[in-house]
Amino acid sequence: MTLLARPQPLTAATPVQDRFGRVKRKLRVSLTDRCNFRCPYCMPEAPEFMERADRLTRLELQRVLRLFVSELGVTRLRLTGGEPLLRRDLEAVIEECGELRALGLERISLTTNAALLARRADAIKRAGLDDLNISLDALTPATFAKLSGGRGVQPVLAGIRAARDAGLSLKLNTVVIRGMNEDEILPLTRWAMREQVSLRFIEFMPLDGRGEWSRERVVTQAEILAQLQAEFAVEALPRGNDPAAYYRIGSDAEIGVIATVSNPFCASCDRLRITADGSLYPCLFSQRGTSLRELMRSGADDAALAASIRNTVWHKDAGYVAHPGYVERPIAMNSLGG
C-alpha cells in the first residue's frame, strides 16, 4: 500500500478514499443490532441492544445514503444487521434505496440468516433488491442449532428456496470453526453443487462478541481446500475484486473462500460500514466510529456531514494486516453487520 502525501480535494463527486489510496465503493448498512439468532461467533452472551430512539430514523438513513451515493461515490449498498428481516419496514427501506439508482447506485444487496425469508422473498424482490447473501453454517440440525443458539435449519432452507423461486440471485456463506462445523464442509459443498447455488466458506474472525476466538479455532483457507481436494478436482480461478478467492470444483461448480485471517485482503478493501445508530466505521477492526446521527441531530448541513465522512475514511487504518490477532473492541459483530 502507498501512503498518499496529500488528502484528496473535497469536491463533490470525488470518490471517498483513505490515506492508503483505497477508494470506497461499497457501504454496509446495519438496520438493527437485534437478531432472532444467537450465533456464538457473533453475538455477546448478554447483548445490550440499542434503544429505538437511538436508531437512525428512515429520513436520517436516506439522507446519509443519498450523500454516500451522490457526493462520495458509493455504488453498492448492502443491508445487514443484526437480522435485517426483523425490520418490518425492510421493503420500504429497499424501495427508498432504489431511488438512489438515478444518482449512481448500481446494486442493493441484503445479508440475512433467512429464517424469516420465506414469507417475504417475493416482496423484497418486488421492492427492488438485486441479490442476497444467506448465512448457512451447517445442514445437520444439531450442529446448526449449536451455531445459531438453538434454531432449526428447515426455515432457513425454506428461505433459500423461496428466494430462488422469487428470482433473487443468492450466495451462501458458512463460517467455519474448528470443533464445531469443519465436518460440514463436504456435505455443504455437495449440497450446494446439487442445488446449483454459490457457496463461500469464511474463516472465523477475531470479532466474536464472547471473546472466545483463538487462532487454533480458525479453519484456514488451506485446510478448507485440503478437505475439498480429498474429494474433488479443485482449480484456482483468477482473483477478482471480491474478498473471496474462487475455485472450480469438479466440472462446473464454484466455491469461494474468504480468508480474512490467513490471507487478509485489506490492501484492496473498498468497504465502509454504518451501524443502525448511524456510526461510521471505516473498518471491521476500527476501535471507534464517527456518529453521523449526532452530527445530523446537531444541525450539520450536507457539506459538513460529507467533510466528516471524508475525514473519518481518510484516517482508516491499514486493517487486520497491521494488528493480526484478537481485537478488543467496544462493538460486537451484530452491531457492525459483518
x-marked contacts with ligand SF4 along 83-122 as a string, rule CB under 6 A? x-----------------------------x---------
Which of the stretches 4-12, 205-213, 235-243, 290-298 binds ligand SAM when contact is defined by CB under 6 A?
205-213
User: Which option in ligand SAM, ligand SF4, none does residue 43 bind, with CB closer than 5 to 8 A by kind?
Assistant: ligand SF4
270 is a site residue for ligand SAM (CB under 6 A): no
**Contact region with ligand SAM (CB under 6 A), list: 78-86, 184-192, 244-252, 297-305:** 78-86
Q: How far is the CB of 276 from ligand SF4 (least distance, A)?
A: 12
Closest approach, Cβ 162 to ligand SF4, in A, equals 18
Query: Does residue 80 touch ligand SAM according to CB under 6 A?
Result: yes
Q: Which stretch binds ligand SAM (CB under 6 A): 44-52, 96-104, 237-245, 329-337?
A: 329-337
| Dihedral (Cα; 321, 322, 324, 326), 10-degree rounding | -130
The interface with ligand SAM within residues 89-128 (CB under 6 A) comprises 111-113
**Strands, E assignment, 68-161:** 76-80, 107-112, 131-135
**Nearest residue to 305 (alpha-carbon basis) of 16, 6, 76:** 16
Answer for the pair 176, 186: CB distance below 8 angstroms, yes or no.
no
Q: Which is nearer to ligand SAM, 81 or 264 (CB)?
A: 81
Q: Which residues pair with 120 in a beta bridge?
A: none
Cis peptide before 82 (omega within 30 of 0): yes
For ligand SAM, give the closer residue by CB, 38 or 190: 38
Collapsed DSSP state (helix, strand, coil) of residue 107: strand
* Number of helices and strands in the chain (H, E): 10, 12
d(CA 77, CA 306): 17
Q: Hey, CA dihedral for 208, 154, 31, 69, is it positive or negative?
A: positive
- How long is the chain? 338
The reply on whether position 232 binds ligand SAM by CB under 6 A is: no
Tell me how far, at minimum, the Cβ of 39 lies from ligand SF4, in Å. 3
